[in-house]
């Protein structure tokens, strides 16, 4: 380190007095129509998130009987009536297995998210939230935030096999991670960069100086892993760089209160409470630019949800509960499926409750909601239920579309395109597609 290291650009700034660094700032005030910052003309950022619920749906209670915009809300989608215009419903899109063994509750979920069905958790490509995060999530404090609301530390967000982006399971831990140490109130009138951050930043820069030398000492497989390590270090360096800039003011931002201690388990009533708390925190984090990408796991794909005092989980019920002859479906399973849609509605409520520009945060979020299978009893990956919400004016919503057994990767492709990624085709083998869902892009 006899020469000045390329990356240690803050070197020489003395004891925090001088912050003479060019900062790509989002300056400050919205223009008259509220869709862009006046100073820069930059539009409000479009965020991306996924929202997963486990064990699919009961088709006759979930799939609208007609396509297009005039469909009648089926019973399980009824809670979403207020969002009809901001919601696109997709039925009948398939994960194509091409002979790959269907690992129940995994293959469908990861096939949908990565475009490649796998017989296990070893994804063969990044999940689409990571692809989108690479494009839009690099300028924020967190590249993405993952939460799981049923007490189980699972995640279906992968850059590579073997290291999922782990989920926060506790609202309090989530709060502390985002709004605790290192959080800067965007509307604070004063800004004093902490010189500790500068030094810390140079440390991370110095670590990266060793990248090339280290890469040369390990084999090809481990180079991929080291590469992932350095990508993560870069992200952290980015976080620290942001600490040295005054945060962009955020209209209507209110610092959230610390959430109460709650029981972290998979009992449905508790899950609804945890989910609502975490959704609220996530919405605030998005509002004040802490992240632009998120993944919410309401219940594990092998749904661990249960009712207090009962011996069986949602997942077990899908296999074991007899069909109620009067109803024509499994009564208890239907209850969990319905609760899941109520939770989805509550998630949208949290995004929509935050004003942003002349609309709400939901208008500036594209949220992909999906499950892991269609009919859980048979682990069917044909017709996995999918919904896309939000992003007003940037995508077209307000209809039900039937996929007619098209590969579900069409949706993943289109969503990446809607998020501004230059991608023409996505997926492999039967899942490979270049067919944009033009109805969604509008």
Partner 1 sequence: MIPKRRYALAGPALRCAGAFSFAACLLFLLGGLHGCSRDGGSNAEPEPVGGPPLVRRLTESQYRATVADIFSPDIGIPARFERGFRVEGLLAIGTSESGMSPFSIEQYDSAALSVARAALAADQRDRILPCAPPSESEFDQSCTRSFVTKYGLLLWRRPLTDEETDNFVELAQQGFSQLGNYYEGLQYALVGLMVAPEFLLRIERTEPDPDHPGLERLDAWSRATRLSYFLTNSTPDAELLRAAGAGELDTADGLARQADRLIASAEFPAAVRAFFEDMLQFDQFGDLAKDPVIYPAFNSTVAADAREQTLLTITEQLIDRNGDYRDLFTTRDTWLTRALGIVYRVPVATRHGWEKARFAQDSEYAGIQTNIAFLALHSHPGRSSPTLRGKAIREVFLCQEVPPPPPNVNFSVVQNPSSTNMPTARDRLEAHRTEPSCAGCHRIMDPLGLTLENFDGLGTFRTRENAAVIDPSGSLDGVDFNTARGLAQALHDHPETPRCLVEKMYRFAVGRDTVWDERSYMDYLTNAFAVDRYRVPQLMRTIALSRNFYAISPPASPDDSYQHAGIQPAEGDTYE
Q: How far is the CB of 56 from partner 1 (least distance, A)?
A: 13
Alpha-carbon span 109 to 113, nearest angstrom: 6
Per rule CB under 8 A, is residue 266 in the interface with partner 1? yes
Q: Rank residues 13 and 437 by Cβ distance to partner 1 and give the closer one.
A: 13
User: Pick from 22, 216, 220, 326: which binds partner 1 (CB under 8 A)?
Assistant: 220
- Interaction residues for partner 1, span 155-174 (CB under 8 A): 159-166, 173
Q: What is the pattern of x (binds partner 1, CB under 8 A) and - over residues 109-148?
A: ----------xxxxxxx----------------xxx-x--
Q: How far is the CB of 341 from partner 1 (least distance, A)?
A: 23
Per rule CB under 8 A, is residue 32 in the interface with partner 1? no
Contact (Cβ atoms closer than 8 angstroms) between residue 171 and residue 262: yes
Contact (Cβ atoms closer than 8 angstroms) between residue 428 and residue 117: no
Q: What is the pattern of x (binds partner 1, CB under 8 A) and - over residues 73-112?
A: ----------------------------xxxxxxx-----
Q: Are strands 47-52 and 365-370 parallel, antiparallel or unpaired?
A: parallel
Alpha-carbon span 152 to 359, nearest angstrom: 34
To which residue do tokens 């003309």 refer? 41
Per rule CB under 8 A, is residue 199 in the interface with partner 1? yes
Count of residues touching partner 1 (by CB under 8 A): 91
Q: Rank residues 38 and 215 by Cβ distance to partner 1 and give the closer one.
A: 215
How far CA 249 is from CA of 18, 41, 141, 283, 323, in Å, comes to: 22, 15, 15, 16, 55
Q: Rank residues 41 and 322 by Cβ distance to partner 1 and give the closer one.
A: 322
- Interaction residues for partner 1, span 367-386 (CB under 8 A): 377-379
Question: How would you class 59 by CB atoms within 10 Å of its CB: exposed for 0-12, middle for 13-18, buried for 19 or more?
Answer: middle
How far CA 421 is from CA of 41, 113, 160, 289, in Å, comes to: 21, 16, 20, 20
Per rule CB under 8 A, is residue 327 in the interface with partner 1? no
Q: How far is the CB of 6 from partner 1 (least distance, A)?
A: 13
- Interaction residues for partner 1, span 60-79 (CB under 8 A): none
DSSP strands (E only) in 23-174? 47-52, 87-91, 145-148
Per rule CB under 8 A, is residue 228 in the interface with partner 1? yes
User: Pick from 81, 98, 222, 252: which binds partner 1 (CB under 8 A)?
Assistant: 222
Per rule CB under 8 A, is residue 13 in the interface with partner 1? yes
Per rule CB under 8 A, is residue 196 in the interface with partner 1? yes
Per rule CB under 8 A, is residue 321 in the interface with partner 1? yes
Closest CA to 296 of 92, 78, 437, 150: 150
Task: Give long-range contacts, CB 8 A cutoff, 24+ apart: 76-80.
Answer: 76/334, 76/337, 76/338, 76/341, 77/341, 79/341, 79/342, 79/344, 79/345, 80/341, 80/344, 80/345, 80/348
Give the DSSP H or E segment for 293. strand 293-297
Neighbours of 165 (CB within 10 A): 20
Q: Rank residues 202 and 414 by Cβ distance to partner 1 and give the closer one.
A: 202
Per rule CB under 8 A, is residue 349 in the interface with partner 1? no
Structure tokens given for 263: 């029981």
Per rule CB under 8 A, is residue 25 in the interface with partner 1? no
Q: Rank residues 377 and 394 by Cβ distance to partner 1 and give the closer one.
A: 377
């Amino acid at each position: 380190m006899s020469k000045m290291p390329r990356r240690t650009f803050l070197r020489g700034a003395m004891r925090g007095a001088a912050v003479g660094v060019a900062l790509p700032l989002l300056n400050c005030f919205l223009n008259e129509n509220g869709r862009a910052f006046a100073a820069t003309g930059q539009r409000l950022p479009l965020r991306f998130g996924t929202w997963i619920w486990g064990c699919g749906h009961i088709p006759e209670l979930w799939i609208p009987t007609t396509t297009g915009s005039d469909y009648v809300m089926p019973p399980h989608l009824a809670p979403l009536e207020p969002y009809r215009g901001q919601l696109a419903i997709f039925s009948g899109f398939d994960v194509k297995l091409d002979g790959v063994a269907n690992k129940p509750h995994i293959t469908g979920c990861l096939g949908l998210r990565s475009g490649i069905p796998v017989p296990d958790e070893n994804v063969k490509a990044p999940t689409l939230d990571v692809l989108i995060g690479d494009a839009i999530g690099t300028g924020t404090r967190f590249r993405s935030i993952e939460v799981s609301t049923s007490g189980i530390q699972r995640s279906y967000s992968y850059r590579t096999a073997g290291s999922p982006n782990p989920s926060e399971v506790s609202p309090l831990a989530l709060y502390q991670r985002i709004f605790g140490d290192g959080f800067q109130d965007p509307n604070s009138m004063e800004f004093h960069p902490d010189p500790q951050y500068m030094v810390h930043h140079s440390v991370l820069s110095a670590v990266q100086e060793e990248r090339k030398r280290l890469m040369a000492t390990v084999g090809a497989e481990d180079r991929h892993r080291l590469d992932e390590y350095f990508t993560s270090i870069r992200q952290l360096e980015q976080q620290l760089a942001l600490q040295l800039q005054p945060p962009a003011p955020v209209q209507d931002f209110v610092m959230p209160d610390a959430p109460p201690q709650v029981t972290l388990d998979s009992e449905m009533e508790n899950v609804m409470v945890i989910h609502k708390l975490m959704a609220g925190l996530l919405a605030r984090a998005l509002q004040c630019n802490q992240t632009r990408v998120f993944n919410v796991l309401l219940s594990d794909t092998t749904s661990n949800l249960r009712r207090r005092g009962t011996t069986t989980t949602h997942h077990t019920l899908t296999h074991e509960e007899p069909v109620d002859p009067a109803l024509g479906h499994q009564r208890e399973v239907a209850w969990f499926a319905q609760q899941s849609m109520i939770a989805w509605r509550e998630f949208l409520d949290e995004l929509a409750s935050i004003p942003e520009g002349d609309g709400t945060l939901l208008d500036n979020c594209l949220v992909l909601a999906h499950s892991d299978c269609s009919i859980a009893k048979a682990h069917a990956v044909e017709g996995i239920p999918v919904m896309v919400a939000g992003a007003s004016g940037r995508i077209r919503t307000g209809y039900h579309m039937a996929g007619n057994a098209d590969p579900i990767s069409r949706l993943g492709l289109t969503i990446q395109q809607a998020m501004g990624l230059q991608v023409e085709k996505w997926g492999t083998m039967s899942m490979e597609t270049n067919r944009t869902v033009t109805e969604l892009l509008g």
